[in-house]
Amino acid sequence: MSALVLDIGGTKVAAGLVDGDGRLQYETRHPTPHSDDPEQVWATVEQAIDDALAKAGGAVDGVGVSAPGPLRLAAGTTSPVNIPAWRDFPIRDRVVAVVPDVPVRVAGDGLCMALGEHWRGAGQGASFLLGMVVSTGIGGGLVLDGVPYYGRTGNAGHVGHVIVDPDGPRCVCGARGCVEAIASGPHLAAWARTQGWMGADAKELADAAAAGNDIALRAFHRGARAIAAMIASVGAVCDLDLVVVGGGVAQAGPLLFDPLRAELRNYAGLDFVSGLRVVPAALGGEAGLFGAAALLRT
């Protein structure tokens, strides 16, 4: 099997080839155009497809697409928050048009990250897995009973919009108190600045915390606490065995994971939740490509 895989995001479009043993044999990346023209964004995706197809000798066995959401899975369309040019963009039909006569599977980027980690990364062996990313936003996906869980519209696993504080800050989604509005990288940094910290972003905040800066440490603890409450909630509802956390903020390592695990002990009261393990992701930015390939395995 040779799968052509795409991972489309707000900053980059990646394409690759994954063989039947789950090895990434080729990868190419292009910056996502900042454009109001949906066709200009598509042209970049098509270029990435052409690159990978040429590398494969013109033929592949299927195409897996990790797409930013929200999606309408039944229609095969997406309206990505961070690609404003695409509204109900028919991503599946457009891919089918350039790679005809093979299966084309589309899923949300959160689900693809979870599937990739489940197949080839830190989630191997888990049967009930939440894969999640903490970066400029917070997203995720669920593997339940060993298979991807899509939900009614293909948008299951939007864990960034679990409410962790009913009086909390307004979120981009329109609600308030979403964990994303508290614990995403930009919100961690913004909160630290309200406390007198002078840095620019979550990366600098992690450096400051690593150097012992008190405000930065408290910012990570505050974010970790919100994420822990969310994980306890998802654990109680979905009865999981593992949570895999990736994304830029998770690269802070123990600065995030130590308070996260400590707070999870406070918020996970029920026996079947309190044993829930939380581990760092293993695949980095390539999880989505592996997950897109995994879409073709079920």
Q: Is 266 in the site for a second copy (CB under 8 A)?
A: yes
User: Which residue of 238, 248, 251, 279 would you call a contact of a second copy, by CB under 8 A?
Assistant: 238
- The number of angstroms, rounded, from the C-alpha of 39 to the middle of its chain's C-alpha atoms is 25
Q: For residue 219, state whether it binds a second copy (rule: CB under 8 A).
A: no
One residue of 183, 219, 234, 281 binding a second copy per CB under 8 A: 234
Choose one: 19-27, 91-99, 168-176, 289-297; the region binding a second copy (CB under 8 A): 168-176
Is 202 near a second copy (CB under 8 A)?
Answer: no
Q: Kindly state the number of chain residues that form the binding site for a second copy, as judged by CB under 8 A.
A: 51
Cis peptide, bond prior to residue 148, ω within 30 of zero:
no
Least distance CB 56 / a second copy (angstroms): 34
CA dist 102 and 5 (Å) reads 13
Q: If binding is defined by CB under 8 A, does position 166 make contact with a second copy?
A: yes
Q: Residues 130 to 149: which contact a second copy by CB under 8 A?
A: 142, 144, 149
Which position among 175, 210, 279, 282 is part of the footprint of a second copy (CB under 8 A)? 175
Selected range binding a second copy among 84-92, 186-194, 222-230, 287-295, rule: CB under 8 A:
222-230
> Could you say whether residue 204 binds a second copy (CB under 8 A)?
no
For the chain, the residue count is 298
The reply on whether position 232 binds a second copy by CB under 8 A is yes
Q: Does 243 bind a second copy (CB under 8 A)?
A: no
Residues in contact with a second copy by CB under 8 A are 70, 127-128, 142, 144, 149-166, 171, 173-178, 225-226, 229-230, 232-234, 236-241, 266-273
